[in-house]
Structure 1
Amino acid sequence: MKRALLVGIDYYQDVGPLFGCVNDASSLHPLLARNEDDSPNLECRLLAARDANGPVTRDQLLGGLDELLASGPAFALFYFAGHGSPRNGDVTLVTSDATEQTPGVAFAEVLAKISQCAPHTEILVILDCCFSGGAGTIESLNNGLANLRKGLTVLTASRDDQPSAEAGGRGMFSTYLEGALEAGAADVLGHVNVSGLYAYLSESFGAWEQRPTFKANIDRLHDIRKCEPRVPLPTLRKLTEWFPNPEDDYSLDPSYEPTAEPEDLAHEDIFAGLQKYRACRLVEPVDEDHLYYAAMNSKGCRLTALGKHYWHMVKEGRI
């Protein structure tokens, strides 16, 4: 049982409106609900406040969190896009009915609900709001340490002293997050997990821009979405056949190149697989810049460090 609660709030009664948060949550919904092959992924629920006809109140947000975490799902994802307000070393997720005294839901309240969830539940919180990096820190100790229960990951759009920018009717962070889920952050096997998301998002922002943060207390990486493997699995399993030893070179000659004569379909099929490896940095040509020249000049290719990693995974039956 895997669930996601996606919240986007543009409308605020007494706070300046936003213009991209509902778009962000709505755009992420289909990506999280289905894997790239259209198989079911997370069962998603969307809370969207575009105008006064459909506000998202504090009570609605708290109720949505209760339903998300009820009965201990195997994996739960909470996404919030809206105003964020720093308060007492914490960040408050501002709701449509915000007042000066009760601006919304403090992240400490979110953590309190998470702490009561079943211990086996893996939880990912993604915050695209200003000052979101304050989520989960213990400022009362004056040291900024994160206080996270086991199985919890918090990914935020910015540090605790930074705004989260909008551009073109979208939050910049969530726009990049969408690209990451669309396979930009997928590994060779097509897995998109939180470490891949953070690596992708971190590289998306420059030194003068907002800085995403990543806090986790986990002992495994849960797939957030599955995409098509960059190398078809049957081809990837050929690693140990084509390279019986990970230190071996694979010898090439012109018969592997499709443009060469006479035609050798078996060699050409292997060469096509090696080219897929090359595209994923699993192999590199020996003494040449391209596999084409390695073949035409009767040289070869070898496994990279990443290629050796996947070689061992194949050898151990994990692929």
Structure 2
Amino acid sequence: MVGIDDYSGAKLQGCVNDAKAVAEILEYNENGSKNFDVDLLTDISSKAMLVEAVRKLFSGNADVALFYFSGHGYVDEIGGYLVTTDFSRGDMGVAMSTVLKLANDSKCKNRIIILDSCYSGEMGKTGFEGECSVISDGVTVLTASLPVESAIEINGHGVFTSLLIAALNGGASNIMGKITPGSIYSYIDQALGAWQQRPVFKTNISQFVSIRDMNAKVPLNVVRSIVELFPETTSEYKLNPSYEFTNSNQIEHTLIEPLANEENVKVFKMLQKLEGIGVIEPVDEEHMYFAAMNFKSCRLTAVGQYYWKLAKDKRI
């Protein structure tokens, strides 16, 4: 995690804050279990120091090696650079192509590069028309802006990193609590308006790896139960008032037969949790309550059908 503010004549204010915040959130999963071993570097004073730090990061054989940089970026007719504090005309810092080469050549299974700097979309850009991708198998690049765009700071944080932190805090997690580079990009891309800086996502992988785990939005045993409640992806689960716990003699209101049944209420609470994460939906009613009280049913959504297949194949 690299954050650089102290550029002579071009000081920044949010990059050290960015690196510290991302380091803090990536070090642990939501449940407190260890996630990444983090090396937080806010005192990089030379091009040589940054190159050595990147070389060290990608020198092992870890499952996931992640490089994050927040600082100035620069681009010229030759390529893009991560600017270091010893920059000078003609030698602005570490070439993005150098960082990418170290990642490409690494034996780590997954290599992830996240850049919050101006012109960072230059990373991985090919220099010649028709040239093949320069991103090796297992490498993912996520950048704050297009090759021709600045990256904006607001209130002591980069706009991109503020959204990255929100994504890592659960905004980009799936129903099993997994956060991947792809889901982070999708979250940031949708959060930014059409006229704001545009994030760039480049990858050459066959399967996304989770880079932070949140607690599952509902217990996984509840998600797995959908294969029992819905024998087929197109099945509907019939409801009636016995599923609604308020339809009881113990609560003063107009009763509807059949009255609340303990087992049905238990199932209905699971169904309501699944509705809350978009896995099921009521049929011909706006809410599950009315589906039960009006003898309607519920069914799997498109997302629910996807997780039904995963549960059926015992992949969750």
Which range, TM-score by smaller chain? over 0.9
Per the alignment, residue 77 of structure 1 pairs with 66
For 2:141 and 2:163, how far apart are their aligned partners in 1? 17
Q: Which amino acid aligns with 1:133?
A: G
Alignment of 1:64-103 (within 5 A): 64-103=53-92
RMSD over equivalenced CA pairs, Å = 1.4
- 2:244 and 2:292 in contact (8 A); partners too: yes
Provide, for residues 210-231 of structure 1, a one-character-per-residue CA deviation record: whole Å limited to 9, x for no partner. Answer: 0001001111111110001112
Evaluate the alpha carbon distance shift between residue 199 and residue 173 of structure 1 in structure 2; reply closer, same or farther with a 3 A threshold: same
Q: Which residue of 2 aligns with 1:26?
A: 20
Match of 1:259, as an amino acid?
T
Alignment of 1:122 with 2:110, yes or no, is yes
Please, which of 183, 196, 203 is the counterpart of residue 209 of structure 1?
196
Deviations 1:283-312 (A, max 9, x none): 111111111100010111001111111111
Asked if 2 retains the 8 angstrom alpha-carbon contact of 1:33 and 1:41, the reply is yes
Choose the corresponding residue for 2:308, options 293, 298, 311. 311
Give the secondary-structure state (helix, strand or coil) at the position aligned to 2:53.
helix
Aligned structure 1 segments of 4 or more residues deviating by more than 3 angstroms: 142-146
Residue in 2 that maps onto 1:291: 288
Asked if 2 retains the 8 angstrom alpha-carbon contact of 1:89 and 1:134, the reply is no
Q: Percent identity?
A: 38
**Match status 1:133 vs 2:121:** yes
Partner SS for 1:312: helix
- In structure 2, how many angstroms separate the alpha carbons of the residues matched to 1:145 and 1:90? 17
How far the C-alpha of 1:246 sits from its partner, in A, is 1.7
Q: Is the aligned partner of 1:41 residue 2:38?
A: no
Displacement after TM superposition at 1:101 (Å)? 2.3
Give the partner amino acid of 2:307.
Y
Distance, in Å, in 2 between the alignment partners of 1:288 and 1:135 is 49
The 8 Å contact of residues 114 and 141 in structure 2, kept in 1 or not, is answered as yes
Query: In structure 2, what residue type is equivalent to 1:48?
Result: T
- TM-superposed CA distance for 1:66, in Å, is 1.4
Q: Distance in 2 between matches of 1:90 and 1:287?
A: 57
> Structure 1 residues 112 and 12 mapped into 2: Cα distance closer, same or farther (>3 Å)?
same
Q: 2:213 pairs with 202, 218, 226, which one?
A: 226
TM-score (normalised: structure 2): 0.94
SS of 1:149's equivalent in the other structure is coil
TM-score, normalized by length of structure 1?
Answer: 0.93
The unaligned stretches of length 5 or more in structure 2 are: 249-258
Residues 212 and 145 of structure 1: CA distance in aligned 2, closer, same or farther (over 3 Å) = farther
Contact 2:150 2:197 in 1 (8 A): yes
Choose the corresponding residue for 2:165, options 162, 178, 192. 178
Choose which of 159, 164, 169 in structure 1 pairs with 2:151.
164
Structure 2 counterpart of 1:301, from 289, 298, 313: 298
- Report SS of the residue matched to 1:43: coil
Q: Secondary structure at the match of 1:29?
A: helix
Partner of 1:52: none
Counterparts of 1:48 and 1:86, CA distance in 2: 23
Give the 3-state SS of the residue equivalent to 2:125 in structure 1: coil
- Aligned partners of 1:295 and 1:162: how far apart in 2? 53
Q: Could you say what secondary structure the match of 2:11 adopts? A: coil
Residue 246 of structure 1 aligns to a residue in which SS? coil
- Structure 1 residue 60 displacement after superposition: 1.2
Q: CA offset at residue 276 of structure 1?
A: 1.2
